[in-house]
Amino acid sequence: MVLPTVALVGRPNVGKSTLFNRIAEERISIVEDTPGVTRDRIYTHAEWLGKQFNLIDTGGITLEEHDLNQEIRSQAEIAIEEADVIVLVVDARVGVTAADEVVAQILFSAHKPIVVAVNKADNLEQRQDIYEFYALGLGDPYPVSGVHGTGMGDLLDQVIQSFPRETLIAEDDSLKFSFIGRPNVGKSSLVNAILGEQRVIVSNQEGTTRDSIDTKFIDQDDGQVYTMIDTAGIRKRGKVYENTEKYSVMRALKAVDRCDVVVLVLDGAQGLREQDKRVAGYAHEAGRGVIIAVNKWDAVEYKDHKTMQEFTDYLRQELQYLSYAPIIFVSALKKQRLRQIVELVRAINENQNRRIQSALLNEMLLKATAIAPAPTVKHKRLRVYYVTQVAVQPPTFVVFVNDPEIFHFSYERFLTNQLREMFDFTGTPIRLIARQRK
């Protein structure tokens, strides 16, 4: 299911991040006990009245040394291109500014629904004094307070009413996998190399591919139908001061939602960057199977027999939360080890859908508790009674205990590792849910 995308746009200091946190209900970052889960607070899943959507905060505009209007213009253009609904955030205390008018002029010509959120309307007088914002020409302004949460219901009601109507997409039995990563790491080149023909545009210029492109093919060995999703980079329009590279996350969101397995593509010559970690973190949180493909390995200079292992150790250290993801070193240009991608996609999809009988799970639990008895937390002994699988994609298990509050993350990690040792869950995250036995 492809979720609609809502982008928050506005000049600095209007409270976009506060609204972002309020709408997201603080469900923003990945909760992990290991280092390396580094993600900007720029995107998240959100929900209102049963409607789920992706929420984007287009923050990061700076006033120093650059032309403010150009910065705001680039932000608004990114939002226009990527979002299904745009929320223009303005400041009730300041009123309409020239910067607000710049954004409004850009958004006015967009064929996208726009909702005006008049933030910082913290008291009744400010909530009533919003009529000047009609001058922006973008419809009814909605007074809200990101700090206190007032007015959020009316705003979100209008946002979800503005979602595009869902179109019926014919279901198919193809196994879908997407290539995600920073611009210019070779995603399109990998698609072409796997297909053996030019099916999508390939260029060394960043951001050549503007939209996600689906390409189907049939594997001659097993007869499986695959759909490859090549995610787009971000096109730079003119002189853009904002680092638009981080907005490739917007398209990665939609691609991850649509696929079964994610192939995170890294540039072997450039190494790992913060943007790679952010995109990888979203795939992990979404519960998709993950493959880490280090592309352009042929371009790495001064390689020896230790280089590949050293790079693997480096990635394991930096991406500890993806310890389950296989790492492969490929070259789209030289067509090296490309077959491994398809083989791993098939194997990981099987692991994503693997179901384990409860009898085997509880046999594993007995062995695990014999190796490491449940700990005592806050002077109370954790008792683990039973475990059963409740879902796939990703494999999800409910662990029945005497008190979920003392089910410490370290013991959860231990049980997860025991599951991986006994059963093949290579390439897929595992989720454990602690429930109190009734």
Q: Is 186 annotated for ligand binding?
A: yes
Helix (H, G, I), strand (E, B) or coil at 121: coil
74 is in an annotated binding site: no
The annotation status of 123 as a binding-site residue, yes or no, is no
CA 333 to chain centre: 28
Residue 121, marked binder:
yes
120 is in an annotated binding site: yes
**Cβ atoms of residues 434 and 407 within 8 Å:** yes
Tell me whether residue 295 is annotated as binding: yes
Nearest Cα to Cα of residue 347 among 421, 291, 391: 291
For 47, the token pair is: 């929900």
Does 298 carry a binding-site annotation?
yes
Q: Is 277 annotated as a binding residue?
A: no
Amino acid at 267: D
Q: Is 426 marked as a binding-site residue?
A: no
Say if residue 291 carries a ligand binding annotation. no
223 labelled binding-site residue: no
* Bridge partners (DSSP) listed for residue 293: 265, 328
User: Is 243 one of the annotated binding-site residues?
Assistant: no
Residue 232 assigned as binding residue: yes
Q: Is 151 annotated as a binding residue?
A: no
87 is annotated as contributing to ligand binding: no
List CB contacts of 436: < 8 A, sequence separation 6 or more. Answer: 400, 401, 402, 403, 404
40 is in an annotated binding site: no
- Annotation-wise, does 146 bind a ligand? no
For residue 371, say whether it is annotated as part of any ligand binding site: no
Determine the 3-state secondary structure of 267 from DSSP: strand
438 annotated as ligand-binding = no
The answer to the question of whether 13 is labelled as a binding residue is: yes
What is the distance of C-alpha 239 from the center of its chain? Answer: 27
* Residue 183 counted as an annotated binding residue: yes
Distance CA 91, CA 111 (A): 24
Any known ligand binding at 188?
A: yes
Was 11 annotated as part of a binding site? Answer: yes
For 216, other C-beta atoms within 10 Å of its C-beta total 12
d(CA 387, CA 21): 34
Q: Is 362 annotated as a binding residue?
A: no
User: What amino acid is encoded at 251 in this protein?
Assistant: R
Task: Write the DSSP assignment of 389-419 as a string of letters.
Answer: EEETTTTEEEEEES-GGG--HHHHHHHHHHH
List residues forming the annotated binding site: 10-17, 57-61, 119-122, 181-188, 230-234, 295-298
List residues forming the annotated binding site for GTP: 10-17, 57-61, 119-122, 181-188, 230-234, 295-298
